[in-house]
Structure 1
Amino acid sequence: MRTAPLYATIGSLVLSALTVTPASAWDGPPAAETRGTAVAAARAAAAGIDFGACPEEEMLPETLKCGRVTVPLDYAEPDGPQIELTVSRVAATGDAAGRQGALVYNPGGPGSSSITFPLLGEMSEWREVARAYDLVGYAPRGVGDSAPLSCQDPAAFAERPTDAPVHPTAADKEKRIARARAYALGCERNAGDALRHYTSLNNARDLDVLRAALGEPELTFMGASYGTYFGALYATLFPSHVRRMVFDSAVDPDPRRIWYRSNLGQSQALESRWADFRRWVAAHHDVYGLGATPEAVQRGYDEVRAEIAARPAGGTVGTGQFQAAFLDAAYYDDYWAMRATALSEYRRGNPEPLIAQASRDAVTAKGDENERAVYTAVECNDAPWPEDFAVWDRDHTALAAAAPLATWHNAFTNLPCAFWPTPRQRPLDVGTRPGELPPVLILAAERDAVTPYEGALELRRRLPGAVLVTERGAGTHGVGGAGNACVDGHLRRYLLTGRTPERDADCAARPEPNAVSLD
C-alpha cells in the first residue's frame, strides 16, 4: 500500500486462477504481548509526553510541537529493550470547554509518517475539527527518527536509471531474485534481532501506548490506506479503548489476503484505473495530441517506454522511474494533467517535464529508502509468503497477461519476502462482536485501485455497526479531507459529534481534473 493523501496535493477470471496457500488466522494475540502492552501503556500514562520544539533539521514551523514516547521493542518483554517514537502535536485552538481530546492520524505505508499532519488545522476544511481536537501525528516504529530501519545504502537505493520490464525474461527474473535476496540480507544485517519486531500488530500496540501517553482514556483515530489495517487490528485488540475511528480507503483485512493476495488484487485493480486515465487523456486529444482513443494513448505510452529502455531520458530516467511516475496517475487523478503533459512534451521532442517528474531526488533518498525498508519489513513479517519463486512466476505471469501495468513492478517490490530471514506471523482475524465497538466510519472511492472497494465492504462486515460512505465513480486513493464536500461533511460531523449516517451513504464523485498543458 502507499500513503493516502488527506487533501489534494500505489479480470476476476485471472485472479481465480492465482493461488497461494493461505495462512491460518489465529484466534488472538499471545497473552504475554497483551500483558506487555498494558504495562507499557501504564508507564506511558504516568510519563506523559514532554512537547517542545521539533528538531531543527526538520525545518518545521514553531506552531508544531514534538515529543517522544517510549515503547518496548518486544511487547512480550516490556522490561527489555525500548525504542522511542517521535510524536507531533498542535493543541486544539478552541476553548477548553469544547475540547474533545486528541485526534491521531496515520497516512498509511507501511513506512509513512504523519508528523506534519497537525499543520492541516490551518486549512479551512479542518479548522472546525482543529478547534475541538489536539491534532496529533507521529512516526511509527522504524520510520524517520523512531528507531529508523534501513536495508541498503540510500545512495544505492537512489541509483538511476533503473529498469522495469513489463514482461520480464528469464534473465530479468534471475537478476531480480538476486537483488531480492541481497535486500533481505541487508535488512537482517542492519537491524539484527530487532527486524522481527517491525509488524502491524506492534504498530497497533504502539498506538495504544501513544493513546495512554496522550492522557486519553479512549482513542480517536483516523487511518488511511495501510493505516486502516492496523487501525482494524487496534479495534480488534482494544475495542474498549476506542472512542471514534475513521477508516479511509480500507485495506481488505481478510487474513487470507494479507499480503500476497492483497498485492495481486491491487495489481489487477490498477489496470482498471490506468484505463480511466487513458480514457481521460483520449478525451483531451485536442490538448495533448496523444491519441483520440485509449488504445492510441497506450500505443504512444509504449513507444516512449521503448525509447527510454534503449536510451534513458536525460541519462537519469529509465523504465523503472518512468513506470513509477505513471503509476502515480493510477493512484491519484491529481497527477493526470502533469503526466499527460510530460508524455505529450516528450513526444514533441521536449523531455524536460518527464525528466523533472520522474527523476529520483537525491535529497530525499534517505527518507525514501527508510520508507521502503519499513514497508518491506512489516509486510514480510506480518504473514507467510510463497518461498518458491515458481509460485510467484506462475501467478504474476498469468496476471500480467491481463494487467501488465503494475503486476511485475509489485512482484519485484515484494520479492524480498520470499527470502525473508525472520519468522512470519499468522495474521489476526480482524473483527468485533455486535455492540463491542462504538460506531465507526469507513470512507471509500468506488474505483480506488490501491485499496480496492471490496476491502471497504469486507471491513464493514467485520466491524458490526460500521457505516460506509462511498464516493461513487471516483478512483483517487484517499478521500477524507480531499475536497468532496459530501464526504468531508460526513467526516466532520462524525469527528465532532460521533454521529454516522443512519445507513451506508453515497456521494457523487468530484469532477475529473481539468486538462492543462505547457501551452
Structure 2
Amino acid sequence: MGAHLRDNRPKSRLVALSSAGALVTATLIAGAMSAPAASADSRHGRDREAVGAEIAAARAAKAGIDWRDCPADWGLEKPIQCGWVSVPLDYSKPDGKQIELAVDRIGNTGTPKERQGALLYNPGGPGGSGLRFPRRVTTKSAVWANVAKAYDFVGFDPRGVGHSAPISCIDPQEFVKAPKADPVPDTEADKTAQRKLAREYAEGCAERSGTMLPHMTTPNTARDLDVIRAALGERKLNYLGVSYGTYLGAVYGTLFPGHLRRMVVDSVVNPSKRNIWYQANLDQDVAFESRWKDWQDWVAANDAAFHLGTTRAAVQAKWLELRATAKKHPLGGVVGPAELISFFQSAPYYDSSWVPVASVFSKYVAGDTQALIDAAAPDMADKAGNAGAENSNAVYTAVECADAKWPTSWSRWDRDNTRLHRDHPFMTWANAWMNLPCATWPAKQQTPVEVGTHRGLPQVLIVQSTRDAATPYAGAVELHKRFKGSRLITERDAGSHGVTGLVNPCINDRVDAYLLGGKLDSADVTCAPHATPKP
C-alpha cells in the first residue's frame, strides 16, 4: 500500500513518486489439484493457470534446489545457503518463458527429530525481499529461538524483486534525487504537475519492464510460493507473512488450501475485493493520522527529554513550522516536505522509531539542522541502495496496479483525497501521488481473488495491533471472518506494524505454541500492549 507494507522498508521510499517521473508423482499432482475451482467468470484463464502451477511444481519437485554458499555481495553469512527456483513468467503458458527466483535457507537449530520442515517468510511490500529471514538465526533473535529449533528458515525474493528477475521503472539516481515537490498541492498547477509525473512513471515501467508487468500479480506470487514449496521437497507449506505478506498468504490459502500446514499472518491487509487496492490506501491515510497523533502525545508526555512541547498541539505546531521552513528553503538544499514525510512516517509505522525520530526532531529545534539532513536526505553515492529502493518502488507499483482495476477518473482521485486531506493531512496526498500511476497503468489489470475458506484449509493464526497505521485493524477482523476456524490475537492499545517480532510474551508464547505444536486457544485472545518506548 502507499506506505509500503513491510517491516524493514527503506526510509526514502514513500513519497518518491511525488516527483519520480511509490509435480512428477501422482501424489504431488493430486495435491496441487485440491485448489478450489475458479469462479465461472474467469474459469478458463484460471483453470489454465492452476494446471500451469501443477506442472511447474512437478518440475520443481524433481529438480530440487542446488544449495550453495551465498554470493559474497548478498550480505548473507554462512551457514546460510542460497539457490534458485525456476517458475513460469505466465502460468497459463508453463512451457513458455521461465524466470529464476532467489531463495535462501538456514537449517533448524534443533535435532533432526525436532525438525518440522521449512518455514517460508514474506516481509511485505509488495517489493520486500525475504532473504534476510534466515539471519534471525545467525543473529540469535531471542523471539524466534524456539521456532528455529523446529524449522529451517527460508526466505526468497518474490518475482520482480532484488535477485529474482528485477524490474525497474526509472533510473535509480533520478528516483532518489531530492528535493522533490511538496506532496501537498497548493494550486491546480501543482496537481497537474504531479499527474504528469505519475503518467510518466507508468510509461517508464512499460518501457523498462513491459514484458513482466501483466504477470506481476499476487496470485502469481502465490503460485511461485507453491513451486518453492515443491522445490524444497515439502508436502505442505508453513508460512509467516507480515503486512502485504498477509495478503499473499490469504491468496495462497484460497488457491492452495490443501497445501498449507500452518500459517501465521501478522499486521493484516483487508482482503476484501472492494478494498484491493484503491480503498486500502484511503483507509491507510486515516490510520496513519491516528498513529501520528499517538506519537505526538508520547513526545509531549516526554517533553523533559525532547523539549518539543507539552501537548500534541504544540508538537504539531513545531512539525508544521518545520514543514513550512523546508518548503521555502529545503534543508541543506535537499530536504523538503517530501523528504520530511519519508523520514517522519517511520514513527507512526514502528515504535522502534519513536525515540530516533523524536531525537532528531529535538536536535533540529535546538539548532542542529545537520542531524535532520543526515537522517532524511538521500545518499546519492549509495548506488546499490538507490537501485534497491527504486526496484522496491517499481514492484510495489506493478503489483498493486496489476492486482485490481483502479479508478481512471482524475475527478474521483481529486475528490476523495481532497476530502480526506482536510482531517488526515499527514499522509494523504503523498499516498495519492505514489499510487496515481495505477490510473494510467499500461498493462492489464486483474480482478482480485475472492479470499475465503475452501476444503483442506487448516486453522490460521492472525496477529494484529489495534492502532496499526499501515494495515488498519479492520483487515484482521475481515480475514478472521473469511478463514473459518482461524484465531485472532489482538494487541490492544498498541500500533507497531509487525507484532510477532516484538517482545510480548502473551503473543510470543502463542505463536510458539501454534508453530511448534499446532496449538491454538479455544477462543480469540486480547493481549496487553508491549512495552512503550522510553527516551
Same-fold call, TM cutoff 0.5: yes
Identity %: 49
Deviation at 1:126, TM superposition (A): 1.6
Deviation at 1:252, TM superposition (A): 0.1
Q: CA deviation at 1:101?
A: 0.4
Q: Does residue 1:419 correspond to 2:437, yes or no?
A: no
Amino acid at match of 1:458: E
- The answer on whether the counterparts of 1:167 and 1:400 sit within 8 Å (CA) in structure 2 is no
| Alpha-carbon distance in 2 for matches of 1:4, 1:71 | 24
1:450 corresponds in structure 2 to 470
Q: State the 1:3 CA deviation.
A: 4.3
Q: Structure 2 CA distance, aligned partners of 1:25 and 1:143?
A: 32
5 Å-filtered alignment, 1:7-406, equals 30-121=46-137, 122-362=140-380, 363=382, 364-406=385-427
SS in 1 for 2:125: coil
Asked if 1:492 is matched to 2:512, the reply is yes
Instruction: Report the alpha carbon displacement of residue 328 of structure 1 after superposing the two structures with TM.
Output: 0.9
Q: Which residue of 2 aligns with 1:503?
A: 523
Query: Deviation string for 1:272-308 (max 9, x for gaps)?
Result: 0011011111111222111111011101100011111
- Contact 2:7/2:243 (<8 A) preserved: no
- The answer to whether the 8 Å contact 2:57/2:230 transfers is yes
The answer to whether the 8 Å contact 1:73/1:82 transfers is yes
Supply the AA of the counterpart residue of 2:315: V
Quote the Cα distance in structure 1 between the aligned partners of 2:220 and 2:325: 45
**Aligned partners of 1:98, 1:347: CA distance in 2, in Å?**
55
CA offsets per residue over residues 35-88 of structure 1, 9 Å max, x none? 000000000000000110111221321221000000000000000000000001
The question of whether the paired residues in 2 share the 8 Å contact of 1:74 and 1:197 is answered with yes
SS of the equivalent of 2:274 reads helix
Output the CA distance in 2 between the equivalents of 1:125 and 1:335: 19
Q: Which amino acid aligns with 2:83?
A: G
- The amino acid of 2:107's aligned partner reads A
Q: Which residue of 2 aligns with 1:17?
A: none
Contact kept? 1:5, 1:478, Cα under 8 Å: yes
Aligned residue for 1:444, secondary structure, equals strand
Q: Which residue of 1 aligns with 2:31?
A: none
Higher mean displacement: 121-130 or 262-271: 121-130
Q: How far apart are residue 487 of structure 1 and its match?
A: 0.9
The CA deviation at 1:361 is 2.9
Is contact 2:185-2:191 (8 Å) kept? no
Q: Distance in 1 between matches of 2:360 and 2:169?
A: 32
Q: Distance in 2 between matches of 1:507 and 1:76?
A: 45
The aligned residue for residue 479 of structure 1 is 499
Give deviations 1:140-178, integer Å, cap 9, x for gaps: 000001000000000001101113333442111111111
- SS of 1:361's equivalent in the other structure is coil
Aligned residues: 500
2:7 to 2, 5, 8: 5
Within 2, Cα distance between the matches of 1:159 and 1:206? 34
Task: Give secondary structure in 1 for the equivalent of 2:212.
Answer: helix
Indicate how the Cα distance of structure 1 residues 403 and 167 shifts in structure 2: closer, same or farther if over 3 A, else same.
farther
Structure 1, 216-225 or 190-199: larger mean CA deviation: 190-199
How far did 1:26 drift? 6.1
Shift of 1:27: 7.1
Counterpart CA distance in 1 for 2:182 and 2:395 is 22
SS of the aligned residue for 1:69 comes to strand
Q: Partners of 2:325 and 2:193 in 1: how far apart?
A: 22
Counterpart CA distance in 1 for 2:441 and 2:460 is 36
Give the SS at the match of 1:282: helix
Match of residue 27 from structure 2:
none
CA separation in 2, counterparts of 1:319 and 1:395?
Answer: 22
Tell me the distance in 2 between the aligned counterparts of 1:356 and 1:493: 43
Comparing 338-347 and 75-84, the one that deviates more: 338-347
Counterpart contact for 2:289–2:427, Cα < 8 Å: yes
Structure-2 separation of matches of 1:44 and 1:436: 23
- TM-score normalised by L of structure 1: 0.94
**1:302 & 1:166 partners in 2: Cα distance?**
12
Residue 378 of structure 2 aligns to a residue in which SS? Answer: coil
Q: For residue 202 of structure 2, what is the amino acid of its counterpart?
A: A
Deviation track 1:299-322 (CA, whole Å, cap 9, x = no partner) reads 110001111111111222111110
Q: Displacement of 1:6 after TM fit? A: 8.6
- The answer as to whether partners of 1:184 and 1:417 remain within 8 angstroms in 2 is yes
- 1:328-362 deviation per Cα after TM superposition (whole angstroms, max 9, x unaligned): 11111211111112112112211122112211233
* Pairing 1:437–2:457 present: yes
State the distance in 2 between where 1:76 and 1:206 align: 13
Q: In structure 1, how many angstroms separate the alpha carbons of the residues matched to 2:170 and 2:141?
A: 38
One-letter amino acid of the counterpart of residue 84, structure 2: R
Amino acid paired to 1:83:
I
In structure 2, the residue matched to 1:13 is none
Task: Name the SS for the 1:61 alignment partner.
Answer: coil
Report if aligned partners of 1:26, 1:426 keep a CA contact under 8 Å in 2. Answer: no
Closer/same/farther in 2, CA of residues 66 and 241 from structure 1, 3 Å limit: same
Distance in 2, Cα, partners of 1:25 & 1:197 = 21
Computed over aligned residues only, the root mean square deviation of the Cα atoms, in angstroms, reads 1.7
Contact 2:502–2:530 (8 Å) recurs in 1? no
Normalised by the length of structure 2, the TM-score is: 0.91
Aligned partners of 1:341 and 1:353 also within 8 Å: no
1:410 aligns with 2:431: yes
> For 1:337 and 1:262, how far apart are their aligned partners in 2?
28
Q: Any stretches of 5+ residues in structure 1 without a counterpart?
A: 11-23
Aligned partner of residue 77 in structure 2, secondary structure = coil
Q: Distance in 2 between matches of 1:214 and 1:43?
A: 12
Amino acid at match of 1:91: G
Q: What amino acid is aligned across from residue 516 of structure 2 in structure 1?
A: L
CA contact (8 A) 2:241 2:266 kept: yes
Matches of 2:379 and 2:157, distance apart in 1: 21
CA distance in 1, matches of 2:524, 2:470: 22
